[in-house]
């Protein structure tokens, strides 16, 4: 399929990065790999501080789960990308009632090959060392190990520092496509696991659901990586401006930049 030419460096993006507007061969070595990763319900009765922390929780868990990989359409500024600037985009979803569901997408260039970035993203158990506001992530059950082929799956418990909000995620690891998908483990599933003696703790009551995705794309002949992180937030009412700002400018930015810093520092699992 022939690519569309554009006059400026901000190129139309549909699930992949287009480095330059050239004919044939433009995407050689650059394979789109979508992911998914969480959403959060915030009751209107909660105070502002709790709402912000709830949004923070959503953004910390590091694709959409149980469905075909979603693609988001937005424009990426090539100059900003190559200079290492984080670009943030938003996408709204229709929901029943007065609620609102919004995805924020962060895209940044990391100066290492995709495989090295994957090593950091795969090791959830050490994220408490570098993700702001996260007390810990702990793998509580490996359903299927992450291997060279197929998709691995684990149940991972997470907890915020303040307040001590706890939750368990079902995370799928697609190492071949450099993709991760996760969702919140339901209370019914927790009871079922506990009956099987796989003891899981209950999720904090303020959490209704979490999902999201992230994926990696090789860039500059595979020497660099385009990292896309796209959490989802769902509320019972319209998203207030302060939550919007926290999600798109503070929380998402802090998480993505922390991953970039961690990878480029060379601190990876052995």
Statement: the pTM of the whole predicted model exceeds 0.85? no
How far is it, in rounded angstroms, from Cα 125 to Cα 121? 10
Helix pair angle (252-265, 48-60), 10° resolution: 40
> At CA 106, angle to CA 265 and CA 139, rounded to 5?
60
Domain map (residue ranges) of the chain:
31-121+175-184+200-265
Residue ranges for the chain with pLDDT beneath 50: 2-43, 45-47, 49-67
pLDDT at residue 204 in the model: 83
How far is it, in rounded angstroms, from Cα 69 to Cα 86? 23
Torsion over CA: 251, 256, 259, 264 (sign): negative
pLDDT at residue 82 in the model: 97
Nearest residue to 102 (alpha-carbon basis) of 142, 58, 146: 58
Which positions ≥6 away from 7 have C-beta within 8 Å? Answer: none
pLDDT at residue 254 in the model: 85
pLDDT at residue 143 in the model: 95
How far is it, in rounded angstroms, from Cα 244 to Cα 249? 8
- How many other CB atoms are found less than 10 A from the CB of residue 196? 8
Contact 38, 231 (CB under 8 A): yes
pLDDT at residue 15 in the model: 46
How far is it, in rounded angstroms, from Cα 132 to Cα 120? 16
pLDDT at residue 169 in the model: 94
pLDDT at residue 162 in the model: 67
């Amino acid at each position: 399929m022939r690519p569309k030419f554009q006059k400026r460096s901000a190129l139309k993006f549909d699930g992949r990065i287009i480095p330059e507007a050239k004919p044939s061969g433009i995407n050689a070595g650059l394979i789109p790999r979508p992911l998914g990763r969480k959403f959060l319900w915030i009751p209107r009765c909660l105070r502002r501080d709790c709402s912000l922390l709830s949004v923070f929780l959503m953004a910390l868990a590091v694709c959409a789960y149980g469905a075909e990989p979603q693609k988001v359409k937005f424009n990426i500024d090539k100059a900003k990308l190559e200079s290492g600037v984080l670009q943030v985009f938003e996408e709204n979803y229709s929901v029943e009632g007065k609620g609102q569901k919004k995805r924020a997408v962060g895209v940044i260039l990391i100066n290492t090959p995709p495989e090295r970035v994957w090593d950091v993203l795969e090791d959830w158990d050490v994220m408490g060392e570098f993700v702001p506001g996260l007390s810990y992530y702990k793998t509580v059950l490996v359903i299927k190990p992450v291997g060279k082929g197929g998709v691995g799956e684990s149940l991972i418990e997470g907890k915020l520092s303040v307040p001590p909000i706890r939750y368990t995620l079902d995370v799928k690891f697609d190492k071949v496509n450099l993709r991760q998908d996760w969702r919140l483990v339901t209370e019914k599933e927790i009871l079922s696991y506990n009956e099987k003696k796989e003891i899981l703790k209950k999720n904090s009551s303020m959490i209704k659901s979490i999902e999201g995705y992230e994926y990696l794309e090789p860039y500059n002949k595979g020497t660099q990586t385009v990292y896309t992180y796209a959490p989802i937030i769902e509320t019972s009412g319209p998203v207030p401006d302060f939550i919007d700002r926290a999600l798109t400018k503070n929380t998402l930015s802090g998480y993505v930049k922390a991953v970039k810093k961690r990878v480029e520092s060379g601190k990876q699992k052995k």
